[in-house]
Amino acid sequence: MISLLHTADWQIGRVFSQFEPDDAAALFEARFKVVERLAGIAAERKVDAVLVAGDVFDLQTVSDKTIRRMFNAMQGFAGPWLLIPGNHDSALSESVWSRAERLGAIAPNVVCCLAPKPHTVAGKFVLLPAPLTQRHTYGDLTDWFAAAPDDAGLPRIGLAHGCVQGILSEDIDSANPIAAGRAGEARLDYLALGDWHGTRQIDERTWYAGTPETDRFRANDSGQALLVSIAGAGALPEVETVRTGQFAWQQLEPRLSVLSDVDELVERLDRIDGNDVLQLRAHGSCDLGAHRKLGTALEAARARARALVWDGEALRLEPTEEDIQALHADGFVGEALQELRAQQADADAELARDALLTLARILDAQGSRTGVGA
């Protein structure tokens, strides 16, 4: 019996520039913390090895400090770590891997598989790695697995990074191809894959682990690692998903038309907490009262969430006649409000909406100071 922890796509050093600086820093830091959690899981479950299927680093130019911190985060598990380069950190002649070696950052129990050759691990299984030596390849780097000789009847484990052909969506079915059915053809007991950022089973012996810490707004079952148990050569693997990620990324695109729609969205925002990363794009329309209510809920949720990105470009502000009367906007000002409301359907809709909202806020504030409309 062998047991393995399969993970991939750590993307260490990724910069989350779409978020505010403090949120981006926390998400950057989370990628080191999840490696520490993986090490803890491996130690607790007493696995025989940890397999890391590429894209350990997000880019070749990460700092020396980031390289050292990544390998330091692995220290909680003293058993074998088996890593391959992916498309983000391919094993070029000069790469993040050669820098790590020069820094002396790689511990003796960590094997960076930079060449396609078999590794017998602790006398328990044979690892067949397919490291990327450039960012994009158009031949299948796992081809050699089938010709690799069996070693004393040990389980054969493949480790690769790329796209299984004909299985994943067409927009990524291109570079770094992996043949469907590779595990069966190459007599593999398990094929551990990276590149797809969510957990996904391809066949009974082939799995993508996904990134252990979610990093994008896509419902793809990420934030996990896989515990793999194999009774012996030829036995089917037993695969268990293990939650590893801290942050839950959510993408909401509500359509608002009546007050109950806003109330429902406000209730959802009230449930946001410090482990949520939320992207919110609202569509439709709302009056001034609903817009104020939504704005208050957004500010409260932004203070609780790890990160919140709001996009109201497609939300049309529709002051009612009662709104305009409550603002005491008559004469020229009232006409301006009506004109701005109509202009939200034009090419400069965003500018008109912002101007309308600004004018409404000014009038509202003046009314509050004078007691008008109270």
| pLDDT value, residue 373 | 37
Residue 261: pLDDT above 50? yes
pLDDT tier for residue 175 given thresholds of 50, 70 and 90: confident
Of the candidate ranges 197-206, 276-285, 328-337, 340-349, the one whose mean pLDDT is the lowest: 328-337
pLDDT of residue 212 exceeding 80: yes
DSSP helix/strand/coil, 109: coil
69-85 average pLDDT score: 98
Residue 52 · residue 99 · CB < 8 Å: no
* Cβ atoms of residues 188 and 156 within 8 Å: yes
Which ranges constitute the DSSP H helices of 203-273? 259-270
Q: How far apart are CA 208 and CA 175, in angstroms?
A: 17
The answer to whether residue 230 scores a pLDDT higher than 50 is yes
Considering only residues 119 and 343, tell me which one the structure prediction assigns the higher pLDDT. 119
pLDDT of residue 318: 78
User: What pLDDT sits at residue 64?
Assistant: 98
Mean pLDDT computed over 197-217 = 96
Confidence bin at 370 (pLDDT 50/70/90): very low
Task: Please state, in angstroms and rounded to a whole number, the distance separating the CA atoms of residues 190 and 213.
Answer: 23
Q: Which stretch of DSSP H or E encloses residue 28?
A: helix 21-45
Average pLDDT for 222-250 = 97
